[in-house]
Amino acid sequence: MTLTTQLQQLRMTADGEKQRRLAEALLQQATTTLLRSQRFYGEVLLRLPKQISADQPVAMGLWTVPELALRVNPQLLGEQCATADDLLAMLAHEIGHLAWQHPVRYAGQTGKLVQLATDLAIDEVLPVRPPNVISRAQLNYRWQLHLAPGLGSAEYLTALKRAMVTESVGGHAATSLTNQMQTMQATHIGWQPTRPEVVDQMSRLTATAWQQTPLKQRGTLPSRLQQQLAVTPQLLQLSWQQLIRRGLQGALKLHQPAYYRFNRRQPYQMGLPGETLSPTLKILIFVDQSGSMTDTEVRLILGQIQTLLRRYQDWVWVIPFDATVHESAHQRLRQAVQLNRKRFAGGGTAYQPIFNWLAQHHYQDQTALAVILTDGHGESRVDQHGFQNVIWGLTTAKSDLSVSRPMGQVTVIQPGGATHANS
């Protein structure tokens, strides 16, 4: 029985229990179909927890609370999907959101503009567009926009926000677009702030699916998504507890007033601020991108940084270097998915420019922690200008660090291996 025939049966069935069984059979056959035609999507769907719920307000959607699940409403699914292509496109759409970690990046942001931007980023690269979605071409034509193809969700969101307030979308066009968004069905209501365990589950799920996808079938995915999936989260071999205790010197956070938070002790006094925490030191992560670093080592380091960001969940600065510090390419990050995986430079390796840069910007042990992730192949002598709050994270052995008497901690990071550190 084909998927299209099963969808026809689902539309003609009013019995709730039979709808549930038909929906389960549909998902099983769709998984098999995707494993043959779009392997990565099939591998994700195979591992993704699924729930059939007649109370689900949309035909299909991702939920992160209380646990990660793809929820499906059988009746609405039958009404919205007329063919097998419709169903497979809808599944690929939701898996695309998962692969880009949109439910985490936009957790709690259920506004229609965010929904439109994230949907544009996903549907732009799908071979078949899901039913009842607004395409980029429709947006540009109907509402006089000029959205470029191939952008990410954050870029589309910025462009949409800008377009709503510029003269290019004025008068009737702006009103029409606003009215159209108001009629859009809220399909991202399941994207809510969730536990770190669920975030890690999402990362592991997509990483495993990517690893199970043969090389010849990876090339069918959009290039931007391939880059996203090529850097998989690593076990955090860099001792996070040790980094906090020694590098951040115990006093990690400062309490500051925050007027966007309720005061927990005086919840009915709306004029009283709550409290938020800010780090006492700035974390600066210098990533070795010299020619001696293999692509595997660079991917290992980026995977370590991704995991570190998930654990720390505060701002860090990632700065590439080789024989010089590439300040113009620095990234200020708070979420793992924001990490730019592009490789910079590729020249020789030198550590002295790092400490010159720190001194030039007046960083001291009391104001910053420098984490240098490298293969250790640089010069033998370095003037650290008195800066000692350093963690040297090596992709090789401790003995491979060329600096003869480094100040700070020397740590080895290796996949599946132990972490070693000394002062």
Ordered by start, the domain boundaries in the chain are 3-195, 240-422
What CA dihedral angle connects 299, 304, 307 and 311, to 10 degrees? -160
Partner residues linked to 277 by β-bridges: 255
Output DSSP code: residue 244: I
Dihedral-angle region of residue 408 (phi above 0 means left; psi in -120 to 50 means alpha; beta otherwise): left
CATH 3.40.50 fits 240-422, yes or no: yes
What pLDDT digit, counting tens, does each position of 307-331 carry? Answer: 777 666 678 899 999 989 999 888 8
Question: What is the pTM assigned to this prediction?
Answer: 0.60
Share of residues in the chain with pLDDT > 90 (%): 36
Distance CA 53, CA 20 (A): 8
Q: 16 pLDDT exceeds 80?
A: yes
- pLDDT of res. 28: 94
In the chain, % helix, strand, coil (3-state, to 5) comes to 45, 15, 45
| pLDDT confidence of residue 227 | 76
What mean pLDDT, rounded, does the chain reach?
80
